[in-house]
A and B are shown apart, each in its own frame.
Chain A
Amino acid sequence: MATAAHIAARPGWRPGPLPGFRPTLGFTLLYLSLVVLLPLAALVCKSAGLSWGAFWATVTSSRALAAYKLSFGGALLAGGINTVAGLLLSWVLVRYRFPGRDVVDAIIDLPLALPTAVAGIALTAIYAPTGTVGGFLERHGVQVAFTWVGVVLAMVFVGLPFAVRSVQPVLMELGPELEEAAAVLGASRLRTFLRVILPLLAPPLLTGFALAFARAVGEYGSIVFISGNMPNHTEIVPLLIVTKLEQFQYQQATALAVVMLAGSLVTLLAVNLLQAWNRRWTGHA
């Protein structure tokens, strides 16, 4: 970005030949400021008003810690599951032909288009002890709803489209030449997959994981129905924040929000670093 500023500072610099730069820039900045930057600034301001002691007490209370464990831990697990499932689904969609392939491709976006609350009650209906699958599992001693298992399940649901759509386009662009070269050199399909294809898919897989993780950590509507919301057991961080808000404890809610944002930021950073490291090794853009 320093280079860009450098270039822009030269006399006679233009951002490009097409007209419309000033109006679009102006409008975009205005809208962004009103709808995004200003409210975020409010968050920063408010949290700055907290005393350090109160802040620390809130964010390290046992209830908060339990919530972190559930939100972040569950999201990690769900992200992992989604990455594997995303790979499987992309592979099947891109490489194979079967009846109903178009429908399958469309259905994958359902968690994106479906309201989170609807997803929440639907998942609960299925996995509660009274539900179809829930009842079946109950009889075998496995409880899904109102436990962390249900939380992870809901997280997998919301993260699925991200995991699939990160890998799918990359897989489509991957021509068959590499695999053909491997085949001619005597590699089995499995070896080709593990040694040739998978490494190339590492960056988009990582991206998909990061997106699914970020979604899962912040998710509210899909989870609060199936989780049962028991403090210290099945309470996710967003719910804790809402509870604090309903009790008008704005300071505490803000403190927790800051922790969440910090956590997301750290994750995003870590993933970006991993991507950069991966790029250096594979020499890819």
Chain B
Amino acid sequence: MSVQVEDLTKSFSTKAAPTVFQANFEAPSGGITTLLGPSGSGKTTILRIIAGLESADAGRVLVAGEDITPVPVQKRGFGLVFQSFALFGHMTVRENVAFGLRTQRAPKDQIDARVAELLKLVQLEGHGDRYPGQLSGGQRQRVGFARALAPRPRLLLLDEPFGALDTRVRLELREWLRLLHEATHLTTILVTHDQEEALDLSDRIVVMDAGRIQQVGSPNEIYQSPSTPFVASFIGSANVLSGRVSAGHAQVASLSLDVPANTPDGTAVRAIVRPHDIRIERAGNGNGVCSRRTAAGRISRMVNLGAHVKLDLALTTGDAVTVHVARREYDGLGLVAGESVLVDLESARVFVEDYVI
């Protein structure tokens, strides 16, 4: 059951910028597609439009090739899990899970069997007669999942399902969700601002910012080949260095980096390089070839973060760069604070304003 979002646009007020602007993406059948972005990026709005809780100003949503825009919420047959759980507080866990089946008017014994099956799936067998108010946050969200899955939805929509939970519960439920999905292959659309969650769970990631889709791709693509500076800095950590084009090359820090041909001189550029992609060595080490991609600097601060060491550098040009060095390599190098070093920024990706490489 693939989901196709075409040119979706939505504004909540005539004065401010649209919340969602011409969103286009496809969620492949049987996979987990994640809408990833900061608060206010429009991802929840898109999810709600797919669910039918909001109506788009323009564009449409196709599920298995069929335009569902005119279909009312109740008839869409999707499952929705809320960040705030949205459990029916005055009903027991059992009654909550059974709700969707009751509206389908299934016979009682079928409902009971299905509810039991789901409670077992979310490991809440003994809790059927308790009320949501008596459960912990993690337990409540598991009821939320059970309730959404009970009526056998054809699409599962998750609105920051773990956002309201403690870190430990969040990680465990994330793992539980991954296993569940492997077993059921139910097409799932997940909304989150947690990039780690996105990288861990997704088959496809849709990165959004300020209502616009920045990039669609697999987690690997998004991480290795970000197509905009926003994506590069939102996923994983990144150093951002600014510069300008002159004499046909991007002059960033003390480096000369490649830019596409015909880029006019004077255009602003940004170079993005991940902290663990930077190679570092002592200055004046003999091997220290100062090349187009190597810059000189001084270590201003060193912090031991367990598996790696974080080095804050001040380059001779004044730019600040952070380098992550694996523990083993660090021990081998024996660097100290204040030392002069050379950094190889070979893996920097250059972004020209308004245009991606």
Q: Do A and B bind each other?
A: yes
Chain A residues near B53: list those with CB within 8 A. Answer: 17
The complex places the Cα of A12 from the Cα of B15 at a distance, in Å, of 19
| B14 contacts A by Cβ under 8 Å | yes
Cα distance A13–B54 when bound, in Å? 10
A17 B57 Cβ-Cβ under 8 A:
no
Q: Is the CB of A10 within 8 A of B54?
A: no
With A12-B55, A12-B57 in contact, do A17 and B15 touch (Cβ < 8 Å)?
no
**Inter-chain contact A3/B55, CB cutoff 8 Å:** no
Query: Which residues of chain A (96-119) have a CB below 8 Å from chain B?
Result: none
Interface status of B52 (Cβ within 8 A of chain A): yes
Pair A14/B14 contact, Cβ less than 8 Å: no
Asked if A3 contacts B57 (CB within 8 A), the reply is no
Q: Which of B13, B15, B55 contacts A14 (CB 8 A)?
A: B55
Name the residue on B nearest A7 (C-beta). B14
Q: Which of B56-71 contact A (CB under 8 A)?
A: 56-57
1/0 per residue B28-63: CB within 8 Å of A? 000000000000000000000000111111000000
- Cβ-closest chain B residue relative to A12: B55
CB distance from A29 to the nearest CB of B (A): 24
Q: List chain B residues, Cβ under 8 A from A7.
A: 13-14
Instruction: Report whether A12 and B14 are in contact in the complex, using a CB–CB cutoff of 8 Å.
Output: no
Give Cα A13–Cα B53 distance, bound, in whole angstroms.
12
Hey, which chain A residues are within 8 Å of B15, CB to CB?
3
Give chain B residues whose Cβ lies under 8 Å from the Cβ of A6. Answer: 14
Residues of B contacting A3 in the complex (Cβ-Cβ under 8 angstroms): 13-15
In the complex the two chains form, is A17's CB within 8 Å of B73's CB? yes
Nearest CB of chain B from residue A262's CB, rounded to whole Å? 35
Which residue of chain A is the closest to B58 with respect to CB atoms?
A12
Determine chain B's interface SS by DSSP, over half rule. loop
- In the bound complex, what is the Cα–Cα distance between A3 and B15 (angstroms)? 9
**Distance (Å) between the CB of A149 and the closest chain B CB?**
52
Q: Would A10 and B52 count as touching, CB distance under 8 A?
A: no
Task: Please report the number of residue pairs spanning A and B whose Cβ atoms sit closer than 8 angstroms.
Answer: 16
Residues A12 and B56 in contact, CB atoms below 8 Å apart: yes
Residue of A nearest to B12 (CB): A7
CA distance A178 to B15 in the complex (A): 35
Nearest Cβ on chain A to B58's Cβ, whole angstroms: 8
Q: What is the bound-complex CA distance between A116 and B11, given in angstroms?
A: 51
* Minimum CB distance partner of B13 in chain A: A3
- Complex CA gap A7/B16 in Å reads 13
Closest residue on chain B to residue A6 by CB atoms: B14
Q: Which residue of A lies closest to B15 (CB)?
A: A3
Nearest to A17 among chain B residues (CB) is B53
Q: Restricting to B71-103, which residues have a CB under 8 Å from any CB of A? A: 73
**Contact bitstring A1-16, B, C-beta under 8 A = 1, else 0:** 0010011001011100
- Chain A's nearest CB lies how many Å from the CB of B189? 18
A28–B114 Cα distance when bound, in Å, is 42
Closest to B54 in A: A17
- Whether the Cβ atoms of B52 and A17 lie closer than 8 Å is yes
Picked from B52, B55, B73, the residue with its CB within 8 Å of the CB of A13 is B55
Taken residue by residue from 204 to 231, chain A's Cβ proximity to chain B (1 for < 8 Å, 0 otherwise) reads as 0000000000000000000000000000
Complex Cα spacing A13 to B10, Å: 11
Separation of A14 and B53 alpha carbons in the complex (Å): 10
Nearest neighbor of B53 in chain A, beta-carbon distance: A17
Question: A residues within 8 A CB of B73?
Answer: 17
Q: What separation, in Å, do the CA atoms of A14 and B57 have in the docked complex?
A: 10
In the complex, chain B residues whose CB is within 8 Å of the CB of A10? 57
Query: A14 to B48, alpha carbons, bound, how many Å?
Result: 14
What's the least CB distance linking B132 to chain A, in Å? 21
Of all chain B residues, the one with the shortest Cβ separation from A2 is B14
B12 to chain A, nearest CB (A): 8
- Least Cβ distance of B72 to chain A in Å? 8
Which chain B positions have C-beta within 8 A of A13? Answer: 55
Chain A residues whose CB sits within 8 angstroms of the CB of B55 once the complex forms: 12-14
Which residues of chain A are near B14, meaning CB under 8 Å? 3, 6-7
Kindly identify, within residues 1 to 39 of chain A, every residue whose CB is under 8 Å from any CB belonging to chain B. Answer: 3, 6-7, 10, 12-14, 17
Tell me the bound Cα distance from A165 to B52 in angstroms: 39
Most B CB contacts (10 A, CB to CB) among A3, A6, A10, A17 go to: A17
A251 to B13, CA, bound (A): 48
Contact with A along B1-31 (1 / 0, CB 8 A): 0000000000001110000000000000000
Note all chain A residues with C-beta closer than 8 A to B54: 17
Cα-based distance from A13 to B52 in the complex (angstroms): 13
Determine the residue in chain B with the shortest Cβ distance to A3: B14
- The residue of chain A having its C-beta at the shortest distance from the C-beta of B72 within the complex is A19
What is the minimal beta-carbon distance from B77 to any residue of chain A, in angstroms?
16
B15 to chain A, nearest CB (A): 7
Shortest distance between the CB of A2 and any CB in chain B (Å): 9
Chain A residues in 8 Å Cβ range of B13? 3, 7
B74 to chain A, nearest CB (A): 8
Min CB–CB distance A20 → chain B (angstroms) = 12
Complex Cα gap A268–B55 (Å): 38
Task: Give CA–CA (A12, B56) in the complex, Å.
Answer: 8
Closest to B56 in A: A12
Give A53 to B91 CA distance when docked, in angstroms.
67
> What is the chain A residue whose CB lies nearest that of B74?
A19
Q: How far is the CA of A14 from the CA of B10 in the complex (A)?
A: 12
What are the residues of chain B within 8 A of A17 when measuring CB–CB? 52-54, 73
Instruction: List the A side residues contacting B52 at CB < 8 Å.
Output: 17
* Known contacts A12-B55, A17-B52, A17-B53; 6 further A-B pairs (Cβ under 8 A): A10-B57, A12-B56, A12-B57, A13-B55, A14-B55, A17-B54
Q: Sample 16 A-B pairs with CB under 8 A, ordered by A number.
A: A3-B13, A3-B14, A3-B15, A6-B14, A7-B13, A7-B14, A10-B57, A12-B55, A12-B56, A12-B57, A13-B55, A14-B55, A17-B52, A17-B53, A17-B54, A17-B73
Q: Lowest 9 A-B CB distances belong to which pairs?
A: A17-B53, A14-B55, A12-B55, A6-B14, A17-B73, A3-B14, A10-B57, A12-B57, A7-B14
